[in-house]
Chain A
Amino acid sequence: MQYATLMERVRHLAPEERNVLDSPYQIPNELYAALRSVLHDVGGQPDAPTPYLEKGEEDWEMNTYLTCECLGWRGAWNSEMRRRAENDLGATMYFGLPYYARWITVAAKTLVDKGLITTDELGQKIDEIRARLEARD
């Protein structure tokens, strides 16, 4: 009886049909071609004109570049690993984050993934630095 009630509720919650992109049974070849392009491979995609801003690097952006390059210099990763890790952030973060925020996010993830730092160490360091910077400002 409980089971029947539960199923009744589920039927009310469930959509009548699947959403278009919820693992459809079939898709056109054209959609397959569009979907399997790699996230960063944007060349030729439609877009509208945007203003071409002249914006120099902020301090944290330049430091991000330098830190990521030093990690490469001393063998913690290379630039292909960085680009791959950026793609692996997924579309929301890849396009949603500022350019250098993508870099520093994947630098932290890669150091953790490789076991060079732990998430505890990273968390503690972040707390320590936040306290330091808030005291500064």
Chain B
Amino acid sequence: MTSMHDGHDGHNTFPVSSKVSEFEILELAVRELAIEKGIFSAEDHRRFAEWADGVGPHGGSKLVAKAWSDPAFKEKLLTKGTEACKEVGIDWLQPTGTGTPSDYTFFYVLENTPKVHNVIVCTLCSCYPRPVLGMSPDWYRTPAYRRRMVNRPREVLAEFGLHLPDDVEVRVHDSNQKSRFMVMPMRPDGTEGWSEQELAEIVTRDTMIGVALPDPKVRVPVPAGEVHQ
């Protein structure tokens, strides 16, 4: 492909021989024909791109940090997911007014407890709560993750470095077109007195998928203020 911005070692990727990507050509052809025929406009594409650029795991991080700090908000988040999202600036009806064609749906937040650990997958395709977590990681979409998470969850979690005690029940939630899930991890010890902003920084993407637990020593910057969408 012509424009790899894969900053990692690149192993396990297919060797690339030709200069110009056929997929890039096909995408441009479909887009330009659709715009010429008036199916959608260049402005539609630009608006959608702007929305996609604004979403990311920082949305979910803010939701979890707020829920950890505010029991009333936590209750709302667990019972009325899309409504609660508005309080941190996430509107599931964006960017079209009726949501994204792929995501507008029911949103459920799954609370981890000392006895229950939740993890999400989409066995049928790659359904993912984009408005709160952004684009799904590549591995989430692979057939291997989809195949194995449902019947060997502890093995898969161990491969991510997450070893759960036997007395913790693992619940795997299979997302679909109409139901999207996000995990609310437990607030770790050692975070007493932290601000919402500080808490948000330890709620990483993987902790909301359920393949990791928040670690007070592992912090990812989260932009302050409401989520821009």
A47-B20 contact, Cβ under 8 Å, with A53-B138, A69-B101:
no
Residues of B within 8 A of A65 (CB): 52, 135
Scan residues 1-22 of chain B and give those whose CB is less than 8 A from a CB of chain A. Answer: 1-8, 11-13, 19-21
Q: Does B179 contact A (CB under 8 A)?
A: no
A: number of interface residues (CB 8 Å): 61
Q: How many residues of B contact A (CB 8 A)?
A: 64
B11 nearest in chain A by CB position: A51
Q: Count A-B pairs with CB separation below 8 Å.
A: 183
Binary interface encoding of chain A residues 56-95 relative to chain B, with 1 for a CB under 8 A from any of its CBs, else 0: 1111111111110111111010111001001000000001
Closest-CB distance, B6 to chain A (whole angstroms): 5
Q: Determine the chain A residues whose CB is within 8 A of the CB of B150 once the complex forms.
A: 43-44
Of the candidates A57, A58, A111, A130, which one forms a contact with B34 in the assembled complex, judged by CB atoms under 8 Å apart? Answer: A111
Residue B191, interface by CB 8 Å: no
Residues of A near B1 (CB, < 8 A) are: 58, 60
- A64, B34: Cα distance in complex, Å: 13
> Cβ of B125 < 8 Å from any Cβ of A?
yes
Q: Nearest Cβ in chain A — how far from B22, in angstroms? A: 8
What separation, in Å, do the CA atoms of A109 and B185 have in the docked complex? 42
Question: Is A133 a contact partner of B25 (Cβ separation < 8 A)?
Answer: yes
Complex CA–CA separation, A38 to B8 (angstroms):
34
> Does A7 reach chain B (CB closer than 8 Å)?
no
Min distance, Cβ A80 to any Cβ of chain B, angstroms: 6
- 5 A-B pairs with C-beta separation under 8 A: A43-B123, A49-B156, A50-B144, A58-B5, A104-B23
